[in-house]
Amino acid sequence: MGGEHGDGNHTTKSSFLLGGLTCDTCVRIIENRLLDLHGVKNVQICLETQLASVEYDFYKLSMSEIVRTVCNLGFSAKPVMNPTGAGIRDVTLLIGGMMCNDCVRKVNEKLRAINGVYKVEVSLTENQASVSYEVTLASVEQLLVAVGELGFVVNLPDNVPLSQVTYHLKDLSCEICATSIERVLVDKEGVHHVEVSLSEKSCSVSFFDYKLKPLQIQEYIEATGYSCELITLEIPPQLKSALFRVIGMSSQSCVGHIEEQLAYHKGVVGIKVSLELNTAAVVFLSQETEAEDIREAVEHLGYNCSLIEDLGEKNDDLASETEKVTPDNNETSPLLKAKNDTRSYSSQRSLELALQKSIEHLSKSSRASSRHTLVNVEAANLEKAFFTIKGMTCSSCVSTIENNLKKIRGIHFVLVALLAEKAEVRYNPELISPDAIAGAIDSMGFEAEVLADTQCPPGQLVVMIKGMTCASCVNSIEKAVFRIPGVTSANVVLSTQKGTFTFDGDVAGPRAIVEAIEGAGFEVHLPSSADTSIADRLSHRSEIEKWRSAFLVSLLFGVPTMAIMIFYMVIAPQNGGGHKQTMITEGLSLENLLLFALATPVQFIGGRHFCCPALRSLQHGAANMDVLIVLATTISYLYSVTVLGIAMATRQSMSPMTFFDTVPMLIVFLCLGRWMESVAKGATTEALTKLIELEPTTALLVSSGNHEEKEINKQLVARGDLIKVLPGAKVPVDGCVVSGHGQVDESHITGESLPVDKNPDDIVFSGSLNINGVLLIRATHVGQDTTLGQIVKLVEQAQTSKAPIQQLADRIAGYFVPAVFSLSVITLGVWMFIGFTKVDIIRSFVGKYEGSDLEVTLQFAFRCAITVLSIACPCALGLATPTAVMVGTGLGAKNGIFIKGAEPLELLSQVKIIAFDKTGTITEGKASVTSFTNFSAVVPSGPLVALIGAAESNSEHPIGKAIFAFAVDQLSEEEKELPRCENFEATPGYGLQCEIVYDSYTIYPNETKDIIVKDDGSVLRNPLKTGLGKVNRVLVGNRMWMLNHGVKISGSQDKALETCELEGETAVVCAINGVALAVVSVSDRVRPESRAVVTHLKEKLFKVVLLTGDNKRTANAIAKKVGIRDVIAQVLPRHKAEKIKELRRSGVKVAMVGDGINDSPALIAADVGIALGNATEVAIDAAQVVLIRNDLRDLISAIDLSRKTVHRIRINFVLASVYNIVSIPLAAGMLLPLGLVLLPWVGAGAMAASSLSVLLSSLTLRSAVLERPREPVTKHA
């Protein structure tokens, strides 16, 4: 590379050949822009030689970044190499947090993936990596960022402060002894400075403790023959940890607010807030801030904050442990002592690992240290498991499962979704297994099943193997599988008859593994398709069948009960004494006997669906809705049996009033409500269920050798397999058409209702319907990697997650059942008191019933108490959010909008600022010809376009490719091919020159007469009269290219160029035989819908911002076209996220819309990241909302969907809250003066109606029409 190294830091000087400079203004533009780059120290540009000399820090900047910056300004730049070739640099990176060889592998692969890195050596024992790289392609900052993204703490040796140790030397007697010790130590790696004092008989050593330990230094000294002992050990300032008590947090949004704000606090490097414990653990640099400053910062956020413990000041035990001098003491990484500068990168995960001791100490200070670790030091070892859970009815069930699982050692996170009947659990596999977790859920009264077996990650297969009898069977299976190339692991368990195999999907496939096992003489069974089980679970089929059967059985006893009630209430009312009753024996009437006979089987048989879960719930110290139901029915039954038994024992002349009718009627209405509720729940997930059912279960495999066809399970299809798709069949996997023609319905992916023609080399999607024709496709994506599989995964994740408002509802539901039981007891006590003091109040309601005052009081008090138990319902409250989210995300999926969770669905409704990336988002993301101006009166535009296209046919530049594509598209039917191009030569940054030869083309004759034209004061051959010859010399390029070749540009042509440039387009001139004939404008065309979308957003009072890395002129031109006023241009990818954070600091929610890898940091930094369907995989992963149809108008629909869903959630909460607020006082008899008192079974019906009202309210979203831009879409040239 042309340049020499600077003396200090890491400075180098490089030379570049620039293109396109015409004046001093061009020089100043480039100089100012380069000096703005982080790391550039000096820039010198010579206009005459077009050479630039740039002095920069190659640790912070690469040569390619400088070239790219110049090119973005509209000029060209080419590095000038010296004879020695490229500049190779070696750098050592100190890496903290590597725990195993897998970490080493990840670092190695990550660094080698960087363009320009050609050698990497990673050492686990030394916690460092040695990297050799080409400075023209890579920079040290790129290396640091790459390792930091993996979750490790990384730094440079220059940034690590020195440690100081002093030893007392007993036998030191002369200067010669001191010198010999110094010489020995100075040569040791890691030693920076040695000073031996003869007068004090001491040796002071400054050293890097990541390379050397104090005990090793002591051994080096003693090896010279002198005994020594440690006097002092000075270590650079440690990171401090402090634990704070924070009062006033009410939800996870409070947690996020505190963590986000403290992250900007100077000196804070780590923060973890616990809502459950009301604590905040903060890790900070002691030289930059103190615990009291952090406490005040939290106070300023509106919370009460107090310091529980400052570890740096109070933890003497930890301090002493840090000072222990042992050869393997590397608990405190030197990387964490480094200054907090721009070259020190860390992630949450690596911070947790490095600060293990600090956080363990803070955890002991909390009230539940064994179960709630503030910063989980085991995070690196946690695994995730999913479970299906049957039997949940309301949010109290959710609360019961989550709270009890969190108490189990080894479980760190629990998320239960009521409607999806699914739970996500993160656990430590060393402490607990998924089967044990499922057993724990079963013991709570629910049915749990591990989902992990049917949802293997790519490259993994789990099968059931029949026929194994001993360990040799296991060994033979594993040996047979390992013979298959590409298989990396095989684990067969005899006891469970299960085999788990991992393989490289590019080399091996599941079918080969199954065939190998069967070839060994065993029977293989694939687990049921994950898609089928998900569809069954989401449609609630088993639950619907269960409650339908329970309702019909209960109805057999409920109908006779209702008939008896009507008979005795209407035909033979009880308005007198016992003599009017049909008595069987003393104290027992025919009515009570019949009701007892009907209530008993219902109580002990029909009530089992409620009784068993209630008992298990109580065993775990929790109470759900089933507990209330069982209490209501059991109390009714036991009260009735008791008073009836007393009447018979005392041989009373009349039979008492009982609640036997309550039991069957209550169960009937409850089962009916649960049945209808299950049906409605299934309807809320209909959209996702339909998506899942699109994918077929089998595929028609075609052997590549003999072309035999065989139908196989879809799970056995591997990448590269040939699959035959017959007319009327569905495509089983994503693939590429090898042969055949047909029409395919892809409406489930694209939303386009019309069939799409498919020809060889076209892409087909899983779940698409082949309408006609036979297609032979080669599988490219299988299993969960298919487009449909990813869509299903996105939608299911969204429907499983919880919105912040739902988390509050679940907490309320957790306290609901105990509160209702308390109200029931209070109701019983109050009416008992009223009955004993003023029984006339009760008798005024009962009428002429002649029972005793005690009997009347007890009967009425128990009736009100039981009605309170049966009418109160947290179900409606718990269903308010998930049902709306289910329907909302399903509606979004139908419209090509995929929202990854309930939280972004809620946040999107609050967004006030929307930032757009330019390239690929506002624009189409590809260069295309926007205008073609022909200045020739002789040569028609068609042949002229063909000539320019022929000249560009050999070009690799995006502009050249765009012009070539335009020319091919403009070919007429008569013009089958472009003319021939010879002697092609391209100069980067300027243009091209070549010769175009016509073989069988119409020749447009040249005019031999020169015409004098007064244009810009020059004499020209009139371009309007210039034709084409047999061989034509062609130039295509910018102004400088034309001037260098002596081609004059007329005033009209110059004006056309300026017009294009003002529009932010790239304009090139085409000259034929020395005369400029045409101007071609090329740009990244604005999407047809962009202006309509921006206009609509502005009408809705959104602030719209264009955030791009392009130059300001181009950005402003594009912004003007679509109507955006606020433009932030020339922003590097790493700075885009900072700009988003600046927008968020205004206190409003910000959404970012992008499509590229460079947009990923901004997508993550925004409150809601939105990616287009054709975005890069990285951008889609970073985004929370994906517009799968690649249409910006879907952004309007997504916002409207979010607002309508949140509005529906609020309506649901109002319905649920009003129901409980009104029904419980009514059930308790508070409206008795108005003559309003409910019977228990009426309360049960009302309870079922409340849940149904919420479900039906959510289902109204299914018919919602999503908003689209009203402005008609116009195409912009």
- At 293 the pLDDT is 84
Q: Is the dihedral of CA 980, 984, 988, 989 positive or negative?
A: negative
For 1235, the token pair is 């003559």
Identify whether 749 is part of a domain.
Answer: yes
Identify whether 290 is part of a domain.
Answer: yes
In this structure, are 703 and 738 located in the same domain? yes
Position with higher pLDDT, 348 vs 854: 854
Name the range with the highest mean pLDDT among 97-111, 553-567, 824-838, 1001-1015.
824-838
Residues 355, 419: Cα–Cα separation, whole Å? 39
- At 1012 the pLDDT is 30
DSSP summary character for residue 803 = -
In this structure, are 1061 and 1129 located in the same domain? no
In this structure, are 217 and 245 located in the same domain? no
In this structure, are 1045 and 1099 located in the same domain? no
Average the pLDDT over 1112-1127 and give the result: 86
In this structure, are 94 and 181 located in the same domain? no
Local confidence band at 210 (pLDDT 50, 70, 90 cut-offs): low
Name the range with the highest mean pLDDT among 629-633, 949-953, 1175-1179.
949-953
In 3D space, the residue among 307, 298, 314, 312 whose CA is nearest the CA of residue 244 turns out to be: 307
CA angle in degrees (0–180, nearest 5) for 829-835-841:
120
- At 450 the pLDDT is 83
Domain endpoint, select from 211, 234, 257? 234
Average the pLDDT over 407-416 and give the result: 82
- For 486-600, where are the E strands, in sequence order? 487-493, 498-503, 523-525, 583-585, 588-589
- At 1151 the pLDDT is 93
In 3D space, the residue among 352, 450, 440 whose CA is nearest the CA of residue 404 turns out to be: 440
The per-residue pLDDT for range 866-881, each reduced to its tens digit, is 878 777 766 666 677 7
The per-residue pLDDT for range 364-402, each reduced to its tens digit, is 444 333 333 333 333 335 777 888 888 776 666 777 788
The per-residue pLDDT for range 247-304, each reduced to its tens digit, is 777 666 677 778 777 877 777 766 777 776 777 877 776 667 788 888 888 887 777 7
Local confidence band at 340 (pLDDT 50, 70, 90 cut-offs): very low
Average the pLDDT over 715-720 and give the result: 79
In this structure, are 1059 and 1138 located in the same domain? no
Identify whether 271 is part of a domain.
Answer: yes
Residue 357 in this model has a pLDDT that exceeds 50: no
| Catalytic option among 57, 310, 745, 917 | 917
In this structure, are 1061 and 979 located in the same domain? yes
What is the residue-averaged pLDDT of the chain? 75
- What angle separates helix 1193-1227 from helix 875-894, to the nearest 10 degrees? 160
SS3 of 204-263: EEEECCCCCCHHHHHHHHHHCCCCEEEEEEECCCCEEEEEEEEECCCCHHHHHHHHHHHH
Query: Which H or E run contains 986?
Result: strand 980-987
Residue 1130 backbone class (left: φ over 0; alpha: ψ -120 to 50; beta: rest): left
| Contact criterion met (CB below 8 Å) for 1070 and 1076 | yes
User: What b-and-e string marks burial along 1219-1249, b requiring 16 or more CB atoms within 10 Å of the CB?
Assistant: bbeebbebbbbeebeeeebbbbbbbbbbbbb
Residue 1027 in this model has a pLDDT that exceeds 60: no
What's the domain count of the chain? 8
22: CATH? 3.30.70.100
In this structure, are 942 and 1052 located in the same domain? yes
The per-residue pLDDT for range 641-675, each reduced to its tens digit, is 888 888 888 887 777 877 787 778 777 777 776 77
Residue 86 in this model has a pLDDT that exceeds 60: no
Domain endpoint, select from 37, 57, 80? 80
- At 799 the pLDDT is 52
DSSP summary character for residue 1121 = H
Query: Which H or E run contains 107?
Result: helix 101-112
DSSP summary character for residue 636 = H
DSSP summary character for residue 602 = I
Residues 940, 930: Cα–Cα separation, whole Å? 19
For 853, the token pair is 């005052």
Residue 958 in this model has a pLDDT that exceeds 90: no
Residues 312, 611: Cα–Cα separation, whole Å? 54
Segment among 470-474, 536-540, 1067-1071, 1177-1181 with least mean pLDDT: 536-540
Average the pLDDT over 892-919 and give the result: 85
CA angle in degrees (0–180, nearest 5) for 540-546-548:
95
| Contact criterion met (CB below 8 Å) for 133 and 88 | yes
Identify whether 153 is part of a domain.
Answer: yes
- At 1014 the pLDDT is 31
730: CATH? 2.70.150.10
942: CATH? 3.40.1110.10
Identify whether 933 is part of a domain.
Answer: yes
For a pLDDT cut of 70, what percent of the chain falls above it? Answer: 74
Residue 536 in this model has a pLDDT that exceeds 60: no
The per-residue pLDDT for range 1051-1060, each reduced to its tens digit, is 888 888 888 8
Residue 895 in this model has a pLDDT that exceeds 50: yes
Identify whether 216 is part of a domain.
Answer: yes
1156: CATH? 3.40.50.1000
- At 1153 the pLDDT is 92
Residue 1150 in this model has a pLDDT that exceeds 90: yes
Strands 1066-1072 and 1075-1086: antiparallel
Residues 1206, 906: Cα–Cα separation, whole Å? 6
Residue 1192 in this model has a pLDDT that exceeds 70: yes
Residue 1126 is a catalytic residue? no
Distances (CA, A) of 1260 to 456, 682, 875, 877, 899: 36, 14, 19, 18, 20
In this structure, are 944 and 1059 located in the same domain? yes
Residue 317 in this model has a pLDDT that exceeds 50: no
User: What b-and-e string marks burial along 1074-1101, b requiring 16 or more CB atoms within 10 Å of the CB?
Assistant: ebbbbbbbbbbbbbebbbbbbbbbeeee
Q: In terms of residue numbers, what domain contains 41? A: 11-80
Estimate the share of the chain in helix, then strand, then coil, as percent rounded to the nearest 5: 45, 25, 30
Residues 840, 847: Cα–Cα separation, whole Å? 10
- At 914 the pLDDT is 94
Local confidence band at 347 (pLDDT 50, 70, 90 cut-offs): very low
Residues 155, 698: Cα–Cα separation, whole Å? 53
- At 1097 the pLDDT is 92
- What angle separates helix 804-837 from helix 252-263, to the nearest 10 degrees? 140
Position with higher pLDDT, 351 vs 616: 616
- For 881-948, where are the E strands, in sequence order? 897-899, 911-916, 923-934
Euclidean distance between the first and the last CA atom of the chain, given in angstroms as a whole number: 44
Residue 351 in this model has a pLDDT that exceeds 70: no
In this structure, are 1077 and 1097 located in the same domain? no
Residues 6+ apart with CB under 8 A from 1241: 661, 662, 665, 666, 668, 669, 870
Identify whether 1239 is part of a domain.
Answer: no
Residue 313 in this model has a pLDDT that exceeds 80: no
Give the three-class secondary structure for 1086.
Answer: strand
Position with higher pLDDT, 1124 vs 49: 1124
For 787, the token pair is 């487009």
Cβ neighbours, 10 Å, residue 523: 11
Identify whether 131 is part of a domain.
Answer: yes
The per-residue pLDDT for range 102-124, each reduced to its tens digit, is 778 888 888 888 877 777 888 87
In this structure, are 1040 and 932 located in the same domain? yes
| Contact criterion met (CB below 8 Å) for 400 and 620 | yes
In this structure, are 933 and 1079 located in the same domain? yes
Average the pLDDT over 695-723 and give the result: 80
Alpha-carbon Rg for the chain, nearest whole angstrom, is 39
Domain endpoint, select from 785, 816, 839? 785
Local confidence band at 890 (pLDDT 50, 70, 90 cut-offs): confident
Average the pLDDT over 1180-1207 and give the result: 87
